[in-house]
Amino acid sequence: MSTEESTSPTPTGTGPGTAGKTAIAVIATAALAGTAGFVVANSTADNDAETTTGGSGTTAGEAATTVTEAEIPGENRGFEDVHTDEPLATTEWLAERLDEGDLHEQDIVLLDVSENLPSSELTPYSEAHIPQAQYVEWSEEFTQPNTREFISADEFTELAQSLGINDDSTVVLYGDNNNWFAAYASWVFNLYGVEDVKLLDGGLHKWELYDERELVEDVPSVPEGNFEAETQNHDIRAFQPEVLEIAEENAASDGESTAGVNLVDIRSAEEHTGEIGVDPDIFQGEGAAIWGHIPGSVNVTWTQIVDEETGEFLPAEEIRAIYEDAGVDFNNPTIAYCRIGERASHTWYALSQILGEEVKVYDGSWSEWGNSVGVPVANTSGERAGLWGQSGD
Amino acid sequence: MTVEVKADRELGWTRADTVRTSIAVSVAAALLGLAGYLAATDGEGLGGSNAALMLLIGAGLGILFERGRYCFFCIFRDLFEKKNSRGMYAILVSIAVGMIGYAAIFSTRIPTPSADNVPSDAHIAPVSIALVVAGLAFGVGMVISGGCIAGHLYRLPEGHLRSIPALGGVVVGFGLGFLSWDFMYSHFILGAPVPWLPAGNGYALAVLVQLGVLAAIGVWLLRWNPRVQGRADRTVDATELRRLVFFKRWPALTTGVAVGLLAILAYYKDQPLGVTQQISSLTRTGMTEVGWLDQFMPGLDERLAGCVAVVTHTITTNGWLILGIVLASLAAALPGRRFRVEKATAFNSSTAFAGGILLGWGSMIGLGCTIGVLLSGTHAFALSGWVFGAAILVASGLGFRFGLHRKAAPGAFPD
């Protein structure tokens, strides 16, 4: 503005033969004013609408942002479609439904989502499984190849329809290892808008070992369903920038949880303090360069909220008391994390589906956090641990 | 000065020169001693590790302001009253030099400038009607009081006694500024754009455009460039050196370049140049403690860049900068016999006070003065610097045209 003002009165003729000079001055002034106008207009235009999700809280200009801005489609749909009246199916209930005949005629879809560790004492799906159950491979079928992200909504539609899921289907999930991956799957199903998702309480352990119920080899074939996936519901999924803001606030308060969001760490107590890392021989790909926990997180391992014998979830009020004792304030929302997100889903299931609280899974978990440059980490083991520590691994 | 060059008169050396020079040397020694102390203690509790540096930068500015007459009041008065634009070139050059240094510093800190990563420590402020009003008030206040805030700081040691009521008025003006801040902020400043020229354009284009504008202004101002009279042949001996360093006004280009370099150094090591932060902070602290102000001021305490007042109980690096200006300009003025007590009367003191109020209010609402917003703003490629500068220029142009400076201080200005 000022620039044009001060330059616009172009030199007028001050002597003979100045017409040419005047013309040049006019053109030069016009060009300058035009460029200046363009530059000024450009300088405030929000031409890049992407918001910065760095969330580092540091002063712009003095810091670089390390958290990448990968775009993951989704929306915030709230918790209405997520929370379920009866989130748990008992083995008795399932046995009754099976006695009644075809599950798909009752609009029930039964899915086995298991980890199939060699150490498991449970029968793998390929050998025998609960009657009419279909198998879903948690890694290959849910995720994009060579990318740490779930399949797209369209691909999820395809998967869900091939499993016979309709809009009003009840999806019952179970698996080995205390339903870890079944819970993970239930979270993914909710992420894409499947409304009625239940876990078989106690999972395969309860069915096969505790109840000693029947397993079969038959693989069912079901008619194609008509379910259409929605875009991801990011009200139940936390990403690193969001967690980083919380972590930085907590870190600024000496690791106290002051950010108004509960962080729940599902991993073992030693992993939480940072005393040990992940055994790479067993859990390939889950390792982390840094050991410890996200500042301000409380440590409640998943084992504390299930009955040791049956593998079933404890009664809701007992679960609530356990988390409150650990320091979770249920007036605030909660974010759960573990190593890769599957045990966090188990806790998500307990807190969100059983207790009805507002909970997100940070599925990046420690395998993202503990390998990220620059994020705050609390290590209460008293030692410098991890790749740059004295661990010796 | 250069308009009426006569044969150089003999300088001689009088008893008064001895006294003046001794005082100047003592002041300089005190200044250096203070800097040494601050450096040795790392400015512990007294502004931090940059305290000594900023004191010395202030000293440099004081010398340049005094010896180069880098004074917006004097330069604009020459321009509008005497039709002499020569001083303007010092301003133009200081902007050009400083902004290139700023561009270099910015480019290492923010490789791709955008509207999202405007450097928050540089003086890049919202452009709103409030900024224009502030600039106009500042311009009028400058004409009436006989200097801008930086000008008063360096002219006071020259014996310009009106600077005392003027600076008192500045403090009152800051206070009024604080009281009217909420209104101005919520009505005009909140939501106003913060144009930063490199954003979306890159540094090169921003530098080129500003250089183009400066060059255009420079070419245009040539029309008010009076003839230079020659000086007799001379040898550069001790007397000539003494004359050049202490008596003659330093060349505009040299002064401008040096101011620009100091501005770069100040921003690189500490913060952009500005002379109001410490004064306004002390005003604010005082008012807060008396209970006239809320502890928290919306906008001011959030994101605004400039010579923003913070509640402080200690001297900041900005305070050292100001002290450096005052002491060094005194030390620089004395050996050149430039210390001359200008008479202060009840009338011209009260006008200086009134002008000071306008200066203080304008620089509070505008978030800085001629140094903090105009100079440091244009250095940082902020449109706010240009807008504030244009408003001051317009207001002071009208003020000088109507002879407000003469009416405010009868007899102070020779015809």
Angle, CA B217 vertex, CA B212 and CA B219 arms, to 5°: 95
A202 and A97 in a common domain: yes
Cα–Cα distance between B391 and A6 in angstroms, integer? 11
B232-249 per-position pLDDT tens digit:
778 888 888 998 899 989
pLDDT at B411 over 90: no
Percent of chain B with pLDDT over 70: 94
Q: Do A42 and B201 touch (CB under 8 A)?
A: yes
> Which amino acid does the sequence have at B381?
F
pLDDT at B109 over 90: no
Please list every residue in chain B whose beta carbon sits closer than 8 Å to the beta carbon of residue A65. none
Please list every residue in chain A whose beta carbon sits closer than 8 Å to the beta carbon of residue B115. 43-48
Higher pLDDT, B112 or B3: B112
- Tell me how close the Cα of B392 comes to any Cα of chain A, in angstroms: 11
Please list every residue in chain B whose beta carbon sits closer than 8 Å to the beta carbon of residue A40. 195, 197, 383
For residue A349, the domain's CATH number is 3.40.250.10
Cα–Cα distance between B80 and B151 in angstroms, integer? 18
pLDDT at B401 over 50: yes
| Residue A10: per-residue pLDDT | 44
| Residue B220: per-residue pLDDT | 92
Higher pLDDT, B42 or A203: A203
B250-261 per-position pLDDT tens digit:
999 999 999 999
A265 and A197 in a common domain: no
Lowest mean pLDDT among A2-11, B222-231, B402-411: A2-11
Name the closest residue on chain B to residue A11, using Cα atoms: B220
Q: Tally the domains of chain B.
A: 1
Q: What is residue A73's DSSP assignment?
A: -
Nearest to A36 among B198, B209, B393 (CB): B209
Identify which of B221, B113, B151, B55 has the alpha carbon closest to the alpha carbon of residue B363. Answer: B151
**A90-94 CB contacts, 8 Å cutoff, 24+ apart:** A90/A200, A90/A201, A91/A200, A91/A201, A91/A202, A91/A206, A91/A207, A91/A211, A91/A213, A94/A130, A94/A172, A94/A200, A94/A207
B49-95 per-position pLDDT tens digit:
889 999 999 999 999 999 999 999 999 999 999 999 999 999 999 99
Please list every residue in chain B whose beta carbon sits closer than 8 Å to the beta carbon of residue A60. 110, 116-120
Name the closest residue on chain B to residue A49, using Cα atoms: B116
Q: Exactly one of A67, A103, A160, A338 is catalytic; which is it?
A: A338
- Tell me how close the Cα of B228 comes to any Cα of chain A, in angstroms: 20
| Residue A46: per-residue pLDDT | 53
A97 and A161 in a common domain: yes
- Residue ranges for chain A with pLDDT beneath 50: 1-14, 47-61, 391-393
Q: Do A43 and B116 touch (CB under 8 A)?
A: no
A27 domain-assigned: no
Collapsing DSSP to helix, strand or coil, B390 comes out as helix
β-pair partners for A359? A334
A356 and A254 in a common domain: yes
Task: Give the ranges where A109-239 is alpha helix by DSSP (H).
Answer: 153-162, 180-191, 203-204
Identify whether the C-beta of residue B282 lies closer than 8 Å to the C-beta of residue B118: no
Which residue, of A155, A189, A210, is where some domain finishes? A210
Nearest to B196 among A1, A35, A43 (CB): A43
Q: Which domain holds residue B397?
A: 2-408
pLDDT band at B358 (very low <50, low <70, confident <90, very high): very high
Identify which of A92, A326, A337 has the alpha carbon closest to the alpha carbon of residue A238. Answer: A337
Q: Do A5 and B220 touch (CB under 8 A)?
A: no
> Which amino acid does the sequence have at A76?
N
- Tell me how close the Cα of A290 comes to any Cα of chain B, in angstroms: 28
Identify which of B142, B208, B191, B210 has the alpha carbon closest to the alpha carbon of residue B351. Answer: B142
B413 domain-assigned: no
Q: Tally the domains of chain A.
A: 2
In DSSP notation, A98-130 reads HHHS-TGGGTEEEEE-----TT--SPPTTT-BS
Q: Would the ipTM clear 0.90, i.e. be above it? A: no
Residue recorded with tokens 């006004």: B249
Q: Do B390 and A32 touch (CB under 8 A)?
A: no
Q: Do A2 and B386 touch (CB under 8 A)?
A: yes
- Tell me how close the Cα of A373 comes to any Cα of chain B, in angstroms: 19
Mean pLDDT of all residues belonging to chain A: 86
Residues of chain A whose beta carbon is less than 8 angstroms from a beta carbon of chain B are 1-3, 5-7, 9, 11, 14, 28-29, 32, 35-36, 38-40, 42-48, 52, 59-62
Please list every residue in chain A whose beta carbon sits closer than 8 Å to the beta carbon of residue B217. 6-7
Residue A59 φ/ψ, nearest 5 degrees = -70, 130
Please list every residue in chain A whose beta carbon sits closer than 8 Å to the beta carbon of residue B383. 1, 40, 43
| Residue A54: per-residue pLDDT | 37
A274 and A362 in a common domain: yes
Strands A88-89 and A134-135: unpaired
pLDDT band at B143 (very low <50, low <70, confident <90, very high): very high
Name the closest residue on chain B to residue A52, using Cα atoms: B116
A55 domain-assigned: no
B108 domain-assigned: yes
B272-295 mean pLDDT = 83
A266-288 per-position pLDDT tens digit:
999 989 998 888 877 777 778 88
Collapsing DSSP to helix, strand or coil, A77 comes out as coil
Q: Which domain holds residue A329?
A: 240-369
Told to judge if A338 belongs to the known catalytic residues of this protein, a careful annotator would answer yes
B415 domain-assigned: no
Mean pLDDT of all residues belonging to chain B: 89
| Residue A282: per-residue pLDDT | 72
Cα–Cα distance between A72 and B131 in angstroms, integer? 42
- Tell me how close the Cα of B296 comes to any Cα of chain A, in angstroms: 21
Cα–Cα distance between A261 and A248 in angstroms, integer? 12
Q: Do A46 and B121 touch (CB under 8 A)?
A: no
A61 domain-assigned: no
- Tell me how close the Cα of A60 comes to any Cα of chain B, in angstroms: 5
| Residue B56: per-residue pLDDT | 96
A124-171 per-position pLDDT tens digit:
998 899 999 999 988 888 899 888 999 999 999 999 999 999 999 999
| Residue A59: per-residue pLDDT | 40
Task: Give the ranges where B185-316 is alpha helix by DSSP (H).
Answer: 203-221, 238-242, 252-269, 277-290
Q: Do A39 and B209 touch (CB under 8 A)?
A: yes
Please list every residue in chain B whose beta carbon sits closer than 8 Å to the beta carbon of residue A1. 127, 383, 386-387, 390
Cα–Cα distance between B143 and B412 in angstroms, integer? 13
B227 domain-assigned: yes
| Residue A4: per-residue pLDDT | 43
Cα–Cα distance between A44 and A27 in angstroms, integer? 26
B184-202 per-position pLDDT tens digit:
988 898 888 999 999 988 9
Q: Do B195 and A44 touch (CB under 8 A)?
A: yes
